[in-house]
């Protein structure tokens, strides 16, 4: 293995805010498509939740796309930030799992909870890494929104699992 300069490992851990937003857009598109496809496969009790999740993911796609198009952010988007520790898990979620043709409610909720947790961690770290301004506000908003979604899903999960719903 060739010797690398000391700054090499630091540089490979950096990414631009543009790349972050592009990856986040893919993450949200995957989630939207996954939930849209899942809506016809889940129980009627879960359908409203899955459809709501798909709608919320689409709203996130639109937020990221709007930020990427903003001319006043062009220079900001090229700023390098440290890759969040959660970046690998976040990247892994760009590929949705196959839950089969008839996934049970518990499996759907477990997957949704995992995605919300990973997204919350990613957006919270990105909010901490960005300077005050539109991108910081966006990441903070999304971190809070994902935390709220996660709390709602945890309540539903508890109700289903402890009521014998699965």
Q: What is the mean pLDDT of residues 32-58?
A: 87
- Which pLDDT score, from 0 to 100, does residue 74 have? 83
Question: Chain-wide mean pLDDT for the chain?
Answer: 80
Distance CA 63, CA 17 (A): 14
3-state secondary structure of 108: helix
87-93's contacts with Cβ under 8 Å and 24+ in sequence apart are 87/15, 87/122, 89/118, 89/121, 89/122, 90/23, 90/24, 90/27, 90/118, 90/119, 90/121, 90/122, 91/23, 93/27, 93/30, 93/31, 93/118, 93/119
Q: The domain spanning residue 51 has which CATH number?
A: 1.20.1260.10
Question: What pLDDT was estimated at residue 143?
Answer: 93
pLDDT of residue 66: 92
Helix axes 134-162, 105-129, angle to 10 degrees: 160
Quote the number of domains for the chain.
Answer: 1
Domain that holds residue 73: 13-162
Residue 5 lies in a domain: no
**23-43 tens-digit pLDDT:** 889 888 988 998 898 888 888
| Secondary structure percentages of the chain, helix, strand, coil, to 5 | 75, 5, 25
Let me know if residue 109 belongs to a domain.
yes
- Work out the pLDDT band at 54, boundaries 50, 70, 90: very high
- On whether residue 87 sits in a domain, the answer given is yes
Q: What is the pLDDT of residues 113-128, one digit of tens each?
A: 888 888 898 889 889 8
Please state which of the ranges 64-68, 89-93, 154-158 shows the lowest mean pLDDT: 89-93
Q: What is the pLDDT of residues 69-111, one digit of tens each?
A: 989 888 888 888 777 666 666 666 666 777 778 888 888 888 8
- Let me know if residue 99 belongs to a domain: yes
Q: Judge whether 1 lies within some domain.
A: no
Q: Which region among 7-11, 48-52, 92-96, 135-139 has the lowest average model confidence (pLDDT)?
A: 7-11
pTM score > 0.85 for this model? Answer: no
Note whether residue 6 is domain-resident: no
Q: Quick check: is 154 in a domain? A: yes
- Tell me, yes or no, whether 132 lies in a domain: yes
Dihedral angle computed from the Cα positions of residues 82, 85, 88 and 92, in that order, rounded to the nearest 10 degrees: -120
Given pLDDT bands bounded at 50, 70 and 90, which one contains residue 2?
A: very low
């Amino acid at each position: 293995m060739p010797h690398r300069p000391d700054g090499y490992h630091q540089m490979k851990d950096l990414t631009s805010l543009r790349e972050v937003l592009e990856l986040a857009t893919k993450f949200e598109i995957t989630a939207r498509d996954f939930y849209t496809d899942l809506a016809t496969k889940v129980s009627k009790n879960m359908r409203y939740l899955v459809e709501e999740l798909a709608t919320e993911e689409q709203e996130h796609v639109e937020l990221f796309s709007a930020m990427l198009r903003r001319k006043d952010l062009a220079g900001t988007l090229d700023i390098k930030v440290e890759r969040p520790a959660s970046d690998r898990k976040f990247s892994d979620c760009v590929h949705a799992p196959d839950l089969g043709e008839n996934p049970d409610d518990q499996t759907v909720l477990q997957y949704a909870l995992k995605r919300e947790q990973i997204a919350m961690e990613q957006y919270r770290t990105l909010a901490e890494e960005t300077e005050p301004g539109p991108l910081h506000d966006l990441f903070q908003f999304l971190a809070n929104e994902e935390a709220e979604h996660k709390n709602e899903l945890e309540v539903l999960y508890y109700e289903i699992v402890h009521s014998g719903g699965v």
